[in-house]
Structure 1
Amino acid sequence: MATATATAAATSSFMGTRLLDAHSGSGRIQARFGFGSKKKAAPKKVSKGPSTDRPLWYPGAKAPEWLDGSLVGDYGFDPFGLGKPAEYLQFELDSLDQNLAKNEAGIIIGTRTEAADVKSTPFQPYSEVFGLQRFRECELIHGRWAMLATLGALSVEWLTGVTWQDAGKVRFSAVASSPLINHFLPIHF
């Protein structure tokens, strides 16, 4: 009786058909291998911090403290402070009474500074839409697309002998004199 109950518990039902459990307890064999003690790997030294001898936009220029060389393309040029970490003011809700003659604005509660760490979710990969980490990733993606487009334009020019500026002229030169293609079809359809 106990084995029948265990067998019934080990099977599952799918669309009216009983399926046996693939991980049943019958015939358990374990292999254990020992190849000696594991060697500890040397810790990797990854430097994400600022480098002291990095190239700057002008030799001898002093980079601002918020440009530490950790991002791609950081040469220390930010005269207007656009790359400075943003600090936002937090306001209380405005008075939202539609019957008042004048709605009072909310008072300042405090300040909020954005965190540099990225807290990703499946639907929002970056916690801040206008954060530097997201801009960095977008710049890498756009640069890769630009390199691929350049490669495509140059390879087609090399294979066909037609420059990329004149590709449309060559393609439609055979039908350029046809009034049916140029006038009738675009206007009437």
Structure 2
Amino acid sequence: MPSIFGPFLLLSGPQNRKTKMDIALSRGSQILAFNASSSVSAKSSRRSSLDITDTSWPAKGVGPSLSHLQTVVVQAEKRPTWLPGLEPPPYLDGTLAGDFGFDPLGLGEDPESLKWYVQAELVHSRFAMFGVAGILVTDLLRVTGISNLPVWYEAGATKFDFASTRTLLIVQLILMGFVETKRYMDFKNPGSQAKEGTFFGLETALEGLEPGYPGGPLLNPLGIAKDITNAHDWKLKEIKNGRLAMVAMLGFFVQACVTHAGPIDNLVEHLSDPWHKTIIQTLAGSGS
């Protein structure tokens, strides 16, 4: 009660102000002392019910130490997520490159499946980066008139003089099948494809670093990230650019279906009238 009526006691008059204030303060002190003793006794009873021999608890208390809590809080604050404030799933602990806690379908709950999804995303990212670069370069050469090349989505139907379409398809299946088989075998048994005699004597030229990250003078001529286990920044940059490239490829697909033109053509048309030739007007015009 003094905590509620204490301020009003000070306004009751000068003759009793000092006496009543002393009573309020003394009662408040008694309440605080009682609460402190109660909390101490409660802690003592809880401590007695715990197994002190359990090494998972700090030696100086029954709960986590202040330094431990500060470390956890700092780590939680430093880790970015795809949606700020979102708690990532427990199996995405931030150790993977590009892990921002995004898995709305729960595809990575199985650890073995998660490893394969990581490799699949890595390969698709690299193909997407090659595809985006190839489409932009060839489209730029075509639009500027430097070379007579077909638009990218019609390039597959182009006939070549040096080989037929069927021959090119068979050669591509053989080569890609060989490479993908080697990649899968290295994924199942890391380091097995770097052994002598597994690649026509060219094993030292490839020098695989870890599954998904081959090296050597052929695939890593600049010698970047030779210590692949500590190359987290390089892995993060690659996967970020790869994800951006996959989104760009999706944009190219949509552009081709809607405008029936290449990305450079779409860019030139937009720059000719930026306020009236946008994606909104294009999509609205395609539906009419």
| TM-score using structure 2 length | 0.25
Q: Which has the higher strand share?
A: 1
| TM-score using structure 1 length | 0.34
